[in-house]
Structure 1
Amino acid sequence: MKKITFYAFVLLMSFTVIPAEAQEKSTSEKIEALERERQAIISEEKEALKEEVEKINLRYENKEIDWEEAEELKSEAAKSTARRIQERTATIDRQLAQLRKDGNVEEEWEDHDEEDDDDWYHKSRYSRTTTHLVLAAGFNNALLDGQSLNDSDFKAGGSRFFEIGLAWRTRVFERSNWLRFRYGFSFQFNGLKPTDNRYFVQDGELVELQEYPLDLEKSKFRMDNLVFPMHFEFGPSEKIESERSVWFSTRNKLKVGLGGYAGFNLGERQKLRYEEDGENVKKKLKGDYNTNDFIYGLSGYLGWGAAAVYVKYDLNPIFKDPNPELHNVSVGLRFDVN
């Protein structure tokens, strides 16, 4: 009787344990299959997003769109991808949750490497520095201390300046864009047109404006400088976030820049044009003109978006001693092109 009872107990246990093991194995296999399906969907969407970003980058390289528009398009593409992944994996996630609950299986967290941490639709990145082409042009003049434009020796409308250069803009604070530091290099071309039929004449170290013996159609003195501007820029901006990156747009925003520049005088020249014996004569006069080699001054701008009113003033005199301290001053428009 005891033997019969023992064999019956063993037989009962075999019917109880084996199906439980089989059930546990079946649940584990189902979870693994669903996980593989889920990962395949994510990989497929990520690959599609990568191709879309490459197309946007190509449009930016071909100058069809600017940097800010490219980043906005990437942001929208990343958000759309995240939504599609969530929609396509929603059913799988529910099935996984139910299987884990029924089988009393805890969710496992796998170790991942640094590359996984940089998965660009899971992590945010703050781009702090951008590059811009700087273009500026406007009216130029030169004044003695205490002199006004009305008393200037140069034509207010005819004297002009032009500037071209590269500037980098870096946020001072990593996660705030209210204060930016701008720095770079520029070539400045400052032109002066003397009034009353005059031109510059050098006599030793002294440089003076003298009347030309013939009627001048054009008299222009130009100084070419290489300078390194530095400005602190203030103003609001719009924070734009995507799953991959975070950046700040100043499009259609007020901006104020205060700073200065320092650099070197690359050279100067004088152009004269007049008529003599019925023929048009053009002269290009090159010389030292006893100008200062080191250039430094103050500058600032106030604008909206990419355009701004721009003012610069040379603290160094144009000509060295014993000449009067004549300072170059410019007012115009400045454009920061992405």
Structure 2
Amino acid sequence: MKKVTFYLTLLLIGFTVNPVSAQEQDTSEKIKQLEKQKEEIISEEKEALKREVEKINARLENKEIDWEEAEELKSEAAKKHALNIRNRVGIIDNQIALLKRENDDMGWDEEEMDEDHDRWFHKYRYSRTSTHLVMAVGFNNALLEGQGLNDSDFKVGGSRFFELGVAWRTRVFENSNWLRVRYGFSFQFNGLKPTDNRYFVENGDLTELEVYPLELDKSKFRVDNLVFPFHFEFGPSTKIESERSVWYSTRKKLKVGLGGFAGFNIGERQKLKYEEDGEKVKRKLKNDFNTNDFVYGLSGYLGWGATALYVKYDLNPIFKDPNPELRNISVGLRFDMN
């Protein structure tokens, strides 16, 4: 029955027994164009997200919205454009797969079809890559060498991080899922709340914590990064097989991920809230604060199913030399969604 369906499919898409080199050449050119479209889609969505974030920041500067609402809008925008990339690239991938199948079909004669059908059907069933939306949230802090959380300059409970991105997971081995690689891109938002009524002040090449002259209700410093994570993922899975496909499920399975990330600092800002002369005041301070433009670090996770304990550590200092080497560290929960 499978072979009859296969033969009928070939006839429906215009199967011919004679190879046509010109058509093969045309198919190759079409695939190149589609691959280029994928790159353009990612670039378009990144630019669209950047413009949207700029508009939100403008509304924040004009006091049309408060800090919390701006954070929520940015998170929604990042999620929307991540899903846009996933869906739009998925459509292109399907078009490429169809062109490749059509091209592979050219030049088969009836004696070859039985053998080639099995090869084609096996390749179709054993897709090795899947796409996931990744979200992480938790506690954030920054430490000098030899410093611990107990003597940190930042509030342990009040400093938080948020991460949102897209990850592709690919099996290393064709017929085994014990080792996978995960790669993609993420937006990281690392927040720090200084202790003892302090805030960051840029004094030339130095960025230092100083006591604010008024009592602060809130002092928050945030660095936003665009990073490209890469992890080796280990763990058991369940093989699920149907007539049309074979895949491996990690639902309710232990998983371990070890790797790191590298990327770019795309913005930093500081928010102060206090009361002056009986009126509540909000200040938003935007500057580069001598932060490093290039970011990189180590990260890992240990989880069960779609939820994992997540740790990341920046190897690059937050601020450029000659500032003390203050490095960001985050601990929280990571969610991998299909």
What TM-score comes out, normalization by structure 1 length?
0.66
Q: Deviations over 1:215-241 (max 9, x none)?
A: 100000000000000000000000112
Q: CA deviation at 1:121?
A: 8.0
- What does residue 224 of structure 1 align with? 224
Q: Considering only aligned residues, what root-mean-square deviation do their CA atoms show, in Å?
A: 2.5
Listed as ranges, the matches of 1:139-288 within 5 Å are 139-288=139-288
Q: CA deviation at 1:320?
A: 0.8
- Rg: which structure is higher? 1
Query: Counterparts of 2:251 and 2:324 in 1: how far apart (Å)?
Result: 44
Q: Deviations over 1:8-34 (max 9, x none)?
A: xxxxxxxxxxxxxxxxxxxxxxxxxxx
Query: Counterparts of 1:208 and 1:220 in 2: how far apart (Å)?
Result: 14
Q: Label 1:190 to 1:123 Cα distance change in 2 as closer, same or farther (>3 A).
A: closer
Query: Counterparts of 2:195 and 2:139 in 1: how far apart (Å)?
Result: 15
Q: Label 1:330 to 1:123 Cα distance change in 2 as closer, same or farther (>3 A).
A: closer
Q: Deviations over 1:122-173 (max 9, x none)?
A: 9872110000000000000000011100000000000000000000000011
SS at match of 1:285: strand
Query: Counterparts of 1:122 and 1:301 in 2: how far apart (Å)?
Result: 33
- What does residue 53 of structure 2 align with? none
Query: Counterparts of 1:111 and 1:315 in 2: how far apart (Å)?
Result: 60
Q: Which amino acid aligns with 1:179?
A: L
Query: Counterparts of 2:303 and 2:154 in 1: how far apart (Å)?
Result: 28
Q: CA deviation at 1:322?
A: 1.1
Q: Which amino acid aligns with 1:273?
A: K
Query: Counterparts of 2:337 and 2:134 in 1: how far apart (Å)?
Result: 6
Query: Counterparts of 1:210 and 1:223 in 2: how far apart (Å)?
Result: 19
Q: Deviations over 1:103-133 (max 9, x none)?
A: xxxxxxx746379816998987211000000
Listed as ranges, the matches of 1:107-126 within 5 Å are 111=111, 113=113, 117=117, 125-126=125-126
- Residues 121 and 243, structure 1, Cα contact 8 Å, conserved in 2: no
Q: Which amino acid aligns with 2:191?
A: G
Query: Counterparts of 1:269 and 1:287 in 2: how far apart (Å)?
Result: 7
Q: Label 1:117 to 1:317 Cα distance change in 2 as closer, same or farther (>3 A).
A: same
Q: Deviations over 1:74-97 (max 9, x none)?
A: xxxxxxxxxxxxxxxxxxxxxxxx
SS at match of 1:236: coil
Bigger mean CA deviation after superposition, 237-246 or 306-315: 237-246
- Residues 124 and 246, structure 1, Cα contact 8 Å, conserved in 2: no
Q: Which runs of 5+ in 1 are unaligned?
A: 1-38, 48-109
Q: How many aligned residue pairs are there?
A: 237
Query: Counterparts of 2:126 and 2:155 in 1: how far apart (Å)?
Result: 48
Q: Which amino acid aligns with 2:189?
A: F
- What does residue 137 of structure 1 align with? 137
SS at match of 1:229: strand
- What does residue 17 of structure 2 align with? none
- Residues 124 and 243, structure 1, Cα contact 8 Å, conserved in 2: no
Q: Which runs of 5+ in 2 are unaligned?
A: 10-109
- Stretches of 4+ moved more than 3 A in 1? 110-116, 118-124
What TM-score comes out, normalization by structure 2 length?
0.66
- What does residue 96 of structure 1 align with? none
Listed as ranges, the matches of 1:46-85 within 5 Å are none
Q: Which amino acid aligns with 1:159?
A: S
SS at match of 1:139: strand
- Residues 317 and 328, structure 1, Cα contact 8 Å, conserved in 2: yes
- Residues 120 and 244, structure 1, Cα contact 8 Å, conserved in 2: no
Q: Which amino acid aligns with 1:284?
A: K
Query: Counterparts of 1:123 and 1:262 in 2: how far apart (Å)?
Result: 33
Q: CA deviation at 1:330?
A: 0.1
Q: Which amino acid aligns with 1:310?
A: Y
Q: Label 1:285 to 1:120 Cα distance change in 2 as closer, same or farther (>3 A).
A: same
Query: Counterparts of 1:123 and 1:213 in 2: how far apart (Å)?
Result: 68
Query: Counterparts of 1:209 and 1:317 in 2: how far apart (Å)?
Result: 16
SS at match of 2:297: strand
- Residues 132 and 166, structure 1, Cα contact 8 Å, conserved in 2: yes
Q: Which amino acid aligns with 2:265?
A: N
Query: Counterparts of 2:222 and 2:123 in 1: how far apart (Å)?
Result: 53
SS at match of 1:113: helix
Query: Counterparts of 1:114 and 1:276 in 2: how far apart (Å)?
Result: 83
Q: Label 1:121 to 1:287 Cα distance change in 2 as closer, same or farther (>3 A).
A: closer
Q: Deviations over 1:25-53 (max 9, x none)?
A: xxxxxxxxxxxxxx8xx76xx99xxxxxx
- Residues 139 and 331, structure 1, Cα contact 8 Å, conserved in 2: yes
- Residues 123 and 244, structure 1, Cα contact 8 Å, conserved in 2: no
SS at match of 2:150: helix
